Amino acid sequence: MNKINVGVIGLGLRGSMLLKGVILPIDYVEVLGVCDLYEDRTKKGFDAVVEAKGNEPLCTSDYRDLLDMPEIDAIVITSAWESHIQIAVEAMNAGKYVGMEVGGAYSIEDCWKLVHAYEKTKMPCMLMENCCYGRNELMVLNMVKQGLFGDIVHCAGGYHHDLREEIAFGNENRHYRLRNYLNRNCENYPTHELGPIAKVLNINKGNRMLTLNSVASKAAGLEEYIKQKKPNDAELLNAKFLQGDIVTTIIKCAHGETITLTLDTTLPRSYSRGFCVRGTKGAYEEQTHSIFLDDVHNKYDFDWRQQWGNADKYIEQYEHPIWKEYIKEGIRGGHDGMDWLVFNAFFESVANKTQTPIDVYDAAAWMSISVLSEQSIAGGGATVYIPDFTNGKWLQPQKKTDSKYSL
């Protein structure tokens, strides 16, 4: 693989974890610059680069310093949600590949800016949706592509993750989630579930998302949590959170499929992405990690408990080629190995100067859901239209690529 040079912008929890656990261990990647608004974080990033690779990266609090370095090929954006698109657009304009961590958008205009920057510069912009490379998600995608579930009719997913501690007290209250939960009410983090679903439903490659309705429950979880856990935190104890605890979003697609998304981060529960794929011949459901194939499992109709976890038995036959090879090479990095795959997919594209497997249109469409859900919730569940960020390019089905990380 050709050697590539990278700059990393944003070194909070996520950025520093990725830098140390994923980016620096990749042999053909050099990190020439690190950037954060907080000096303590940049210092730690600098130390990590020196320790892993020996070179001394540029340290800065102004990301433009990294964009100005002609030797940098690609920018990794792991900063606060609100800054992603602005930095991505400037990075593309500076001729850099962009690997942008996930999050939702704040305006439709911003999503268009991403698209326009790409169309002007042809610099690929990849949304680093690691869950697109989840082992279960890829097994199911593989089964879908082989036709085992028939015609796909409905998908569901959620970000079911109890983040109360992180939102309220994480990072000494300088976590970007806190200000979002205090001031907004929307599906603020749609892509962990929507990314894999979009690949199942060929969104932007023969299909597209047409309309959306979002409804939010009241916001009760964080206030109760703060009352219980830090009754002496005067500032937070009086805080009123606007972000509803459960946000349910229904998306309708051009070919008639529906997608249900659930944001679920401020009530007690266990982690799940609630991935669910339903077709005319079969189904996968993450909650019970089970597969239902028509004419195979019907006898368990009223006793599905016997089949809980049965997807374990299918993994041998239907493991996605990406994961087959990955297991041979050895699973590495965080989040069950997904981070390693998504970053290798990005850096491979950078090294080979090819399109990324998740592209700028995916980024715009998936991130727009946050904005549109905010509008829908504000309108009492109103139907809102999802823009066609491809301007008709979605009518072309997906082209095969040579990338080993192709989705």
Residue 189 sits in the site that holds a second copy (CB under 8 A): no
Closest CA to 70 of 2, 1, 5: 5
Identify which range of 22-30, 35-43, 291-299, 393-401 contacts a second copy by CB under 8 A.
291-299
From the centroid of its chain, how far is CA 295? Answer: 35
Identify which range of 69-77, 81-89, 234-242, 303-311 contacts a second copy by CB under 8 A.
303-311
CB of 356 to a second copy, least distance (A): 29
Residue 313 sits in the site that holds a second copy (CB under 8 A): no
Identify which range of 55-63, 74-82, 192-200, 290-298 contacts a second copy by CB under 8 A.
290-298
Binding residues with a second copy: total (CB under 8 A)? 62
301 neighbors 203 (Cβ within 8 angstroms): no
Residue 230 sits in the site that holds a second copy (CB under 8 A): no
Longest dimension (CA), the chain: 64
**CA pair distance 261, 72, nearest whole angstrom:** 37
Residue 302 sits in the site that holds a second copy (CB under 8 A): yes
Q: Which amino acid is at 340?
A: W
Of the candidates 307, 375, 401, 403, which one interacts with a second copy according to CB under 8 A?
A: 307
Residue 300 sits in the site that holds a second copy (CB under 8 A): yes
Distant-in-sequence, close-in-space partners of 72: CB < 8 Å, separation ≥ 6: 5, 6, 7, 32, 33, 66, 96
Residue 392 sits in the site that holds a second copy (CB under 8 A): no
Residue 255 sits in the site that holds a second copy (CB under 8 A): yes
Nearer to a second copy, 245 or 359 (CB): 245
**CA pair distance 287, 297, nearest whole angstrom:** 17
Which residues inside 263-282 make contact with a second copy, applying CB under 8 A?
264, 267-272, 278-282
345 neighbors 405 (Cβ within 8 angstroms): yes
CB of 146 to a second copy, least distance (A): 16
Identify which range of 12-20, 109-117, 242-250, 321-329 contacts a second copy by CB under 8 A.
242-250
**CA pair distance 158, 263, nearest whole angstrom:** 6
Residue 311 sits in the site that holds a second copy (CB under 8 A): no
Nearer to a second copy, 4 or 261 (CB): 261
CB of 201 to a second copy, least distance (A): 11
CB of 385 to a second copy, least distance (A): 9
Of the candidates 237, 308, 321, 353, which one interacts with a second copy according to CB under 8 A?
A: 308
Residue 304 sits in the site that holds a second copy (CB under 8 A): yes
Which residues inside 136-165 make contact with a second copy, applying CB under 8 A?
150-151, 153-154, 162
Residue 213 sits in the site that holds a second copy (CB under 8 A): yes
Question: Quick one: tokens of 384?
Answer: 């809102």
Residue 294 sits in the site that holds a second copy (CB under 8 A): yes
CA dihedral 237→11→38→58, nearest 10 degrees, is 180
Identify which range of 41-49, 54-62, 292-300, 387-395 contacts a second copy by CB under 8 A.
292-300
**CA pair distance 189, 166, nearest whole angstrom:** 15
CB of 166 to a second copy, least distance (A): 12
Nearer to a second copy, 74 or 338 (CB): 338
Residue 240 sits in the site that holds a second copy (CB under 8 A): no
CB of 380 to a second copy, least distance (A): 5
CB of 274 to a second copy, least distance (A): 10
Closest CA to 343 of 56, 32, 20, 22: 22
In the complex, the residues that contact a second copy under the rule CB under 8 A are: 150-151, 153-154, 162, 211, 213, 215-218, 220-221, 224-225, 244-246, 248, 250, 252, 255-258, 260, 264, 267-272, 278-283, 285, 287-289, 292-294, 297-298, 300-305, 307-309, 379-383
